[in-house]
Amino acid sequence: MKNIYPTFHTIQSRSDKEQQLRQRGVTLWFTGLSGSGKSTIAAAVERHLADSGYYCCIVDGDNLRHGINSDLGFSAAEREENIRRTAEICRLMTQNGIIAIASLVSPTEQMRELARTIIGSSDFIEIYISTPLAECEARDVKGLYAAARRGEITDFTGISAPFEPPMHPDITIDTTGTTAVSCAEQIIQTIKSRIEYEL
Ligand code: ADP
């Protein structure tokens, strides 16, 4: 790009940051239907990791849509831009040793591949919250399914827009009949070796 002079060589390296934080940076990318439990489990994972001395940051899709992504709607192109920006934020955090916990519906394989490519596959852990549509709709925490059924929301994932289950997620969790804390514990057990700091 013209007239842009990156200064990557003058700033602290990733390993400096990881040494400082005594952890390895990684992105935990939660995908699944609205109401499947992504945000609730992400918060439980953060709490659990924070209690064990890890430094995390939740990157919640809904929250970002109030700020940096407030100019984006739900067309395919805007959803993709939403993912691109979110993945860039996660990449920045991960490169600085932070455990980024991203929670977005990210309904298509293509979107998740975009995120994986931006973040880097070795730093990207895909967590599929596979709670079935019927259970998500029964919970209807935000009343969005009812609104989508009434036709008040168009392109609603699971009702009027597709959700493609991930083909090779690192972790799959169906929250039906279990608690968010036990789901979080399962996740932490699986990712522990990826975040532990060793000299
Ligand atoms: P999402 O972020 O996927 O849209 P939310 O976390 O906002 O979903 O909502 C999930 C809802 O499901 C919450 O009301 C939560 O209390 C409920 N729930 C019931 N069981 C679980 C579980 N095992 N894990 C996570 N959420 C659960």
- 126 HSE (CA, 13 A, CB side): 25
For the record, the structure tokens of 49 come out as 């990791």
Per-residue pLDDT of the chain (199 residues; tens, 9 = 90+): 778 887 766 688 999 999 999 999 999 999 999 999 999 999 999 999 999 999 999 999 889 999 999 999 888 899 899 999 999 999 999 999 999 999 999 999 999 999 999 999 999 999 999 999 999 999 999 999 999 999 999 989 999 999 999 999 999 999 999 999 999 999 999 999 999 998 7
CA–centroid distance, 7 to ligand 1, in Å, is: 42
Looking at residue 4, its pLDDT comes to 85
What is the model's pLDDT at position 176? Answer: 96
Q: Is the CB of 131 under 6 A from ligand 1?
A: no
Q: What is the pLDDT of residue 11?
A: 81
Supply the residues annotated as catalytic: 106
Query: Which pLDDT score is estimated for 5?
Result: 82
Residue 41 identity (one-letter amino acid): I
Task: Please tell me the distance from the alpha carbon of residue 74 to that of residue 76, in angstroms, as a whole number.
Answer: 6
Q: Determine whether the shortest distance from the Cβ of 145 to ligand 1 is under 6 A.
A: no
User: Ligand 1: does its nearest atom lie under 6 Å from the Cβ of 32?
Assistant: yes
pLDDT for residue 3: 86
Which atom of ligand 1 is closest in space to residue 141's alpha carbon? Answer: 14
For the entire predicted model, the pTM comes to: 0.93
Domains of the chain in sequence order: 22-133+165-192 (3.40.50.300)
The pLDDT of residue 7 is: 74
Q: Where are the alpha helices (DSSP H) in the chain?
A: 14-21, 38-51, 61-64, 76-95, 109-119, 133-139, 144-149, 180-195
Question: What is the Cα–Cα distance from 25 to 116, expressed in whole angstroms?
Answer: 15
**Mutational test site, ligand 1, from 28, 40, 45, 185, max ligand atoms within 8 Å of CB:** 40
Helices first, then strands: H and E counts in the chain:
8, 5
